[in-house]
A and B are shown apart, each in its own frame.
Chain A
Amino acid sequence: MTRHHLEIRIIPRPGLLDPEGKAIHHALDSLGYESVRNVRVGKAIYVDLEAPSSEEAIAEAEAMCRGLLANPVTEDFEIGMASPAAEPGETS
């Protein structure tokens, strides 16, 4: 078993109104970043887990997303390998 550091990105589904993204887009506009075309706000969840291989780690994370981490009505998810977590240790 090895320890895998996963980054799970939760993203609002296309077409879903994202008021926070809209507000940030507006703020960027007013700062002069006129090239901005679209802003979406999601969140990233960093999970450290033990698994025999990275494929199996990702498969487990996918199950977590379907079961809890993402709401299928409003959110999509992507899973990637992260660089080792910034904070070592264990959450309790």
Chain B
Amino acid sequence: MRLAVVTFPGSNCDYDVYQAIKSVGGVPEFIWHRDAALDSVDAVVLPGGFSYGDYLRAGAIARMSPIMEQVVTFAAGGGPVLGICNGFQILCEAGLLPGALTRNDTLKFESKDVWVRVENADTTFSRDYGQGQALRMPIAHAEGNYYADEETLDSLESGGQVVFRYCDPSGHDGEGWNPNGSARSIAGIRNEAGNVLGMMPHPERAVEEVLGSVDGLGVFTSLLRQLSPAAA
């Protein structure tokens, strides 16, 4: 299974995603943002980082990149697209996911481990998790405060599009566990069709015991299982 990891100028989690995919048996492949060729890949990951320095707005300039036209086409054809952190910001800017990621309500860059609850375990990216399972993963961002109007939020909720929500270590909602002020504590959403997921926490940084958590593995194993049900 070939998974494209798109490198924009300023991406800095591309290497980590590459290693995470490799560790679960996928075949990762770096694609430079100007090499617009996604013909033969099975899925696309937009990794974290500071594409174009986060200048103007996080993700705003990257989404103008030549590769993004291809990503839009790929997603429209049902191809799985995963955006992590800056990748999530790019997906929102590109209109592949609703809403926007605004400045953290703490006004600071927030780097720490958080807990997220699996709100929908029946998606391309979460099927290896249990419904309601609490996962520990790092966040590292300054603009992760998810915003959408109430109507959009309601439709995300009712459509099962909220995939991950910040929670306490026991998996419950709790005061003080939303690290950035996100509307309804949203940490990750998918599109209506279900093939595009954006999330602020970094599953690729939680794939080995030596790193402190393996709770992120499920995102990658779910995706691989989706792509080749027989092999998994």
* Residues of chain A having any CB pair with chain B under 8 Å: 16-17, 19-20, 23, 68-69, 71, 73-74
Contact = CB atoms under 8 A, between A and B. Distances in A.
B100 A19 contact: no
Given A20-B103, A68-B64, 7 more contacts: A16-B102, A17-B102, A19-B104, A19-B145, A68-B61, A71-B57, A71-B100
B148 A71 contact: no
Contact of B60 (A17, A20, A71): A71
Given A19-B181, A68-B56, A73 B99 contact: yes
Nearest to B104: A19
A17 B93 CA distance: 19
B35 interface: no
The SS class assigned to the B binding surface is loop
Interface residues of B, number: 19
A17 B105 CA distance: 9
Residue among B57, B92, B145 with the highest chain A CB neighbour number at 10 A: B57
A74 B107 contact: no
A57 B56 CA distance: 21
B103 A73 contact: no
B147 interface: yes
Contact of B105 (A19, A69, A71): A19
A70 B92 CA distance: 13
A22 to B, nearest CB: 9
A20 B107 contact: yes
Contacts of B93: 71
Contacts of A20: 103, 107
A74 B145 CA distance: 12
23 contacts: A16-B102, A16-B147, A17-B105, A17-B145, A17-B147, A17-B181, A19-B103, A19-B106, A19-B107, A19-B181, A20-B103, A20-B107, A68-B56, A68-B60, A68-B61, A68-B64, A71-B57, A71-B60, A71-B93, A73-B99, A73-B100, A74-B100, A74-B102
Contacts of A23: 107
Nearest to B100: A73
Contacts of B145: 17, 19
Contacts of A71: 57, 60, 93, 100
A23 to B, nearest CB: 6
Residue among A16, A20, A23, A74 with the highest chain B CB neighbour number at 10 A: A74
Contact of B148 (A17, A69, A73): A73
Given A17-B181, A68-B56, A68-B60, A73 B147 contact: yes
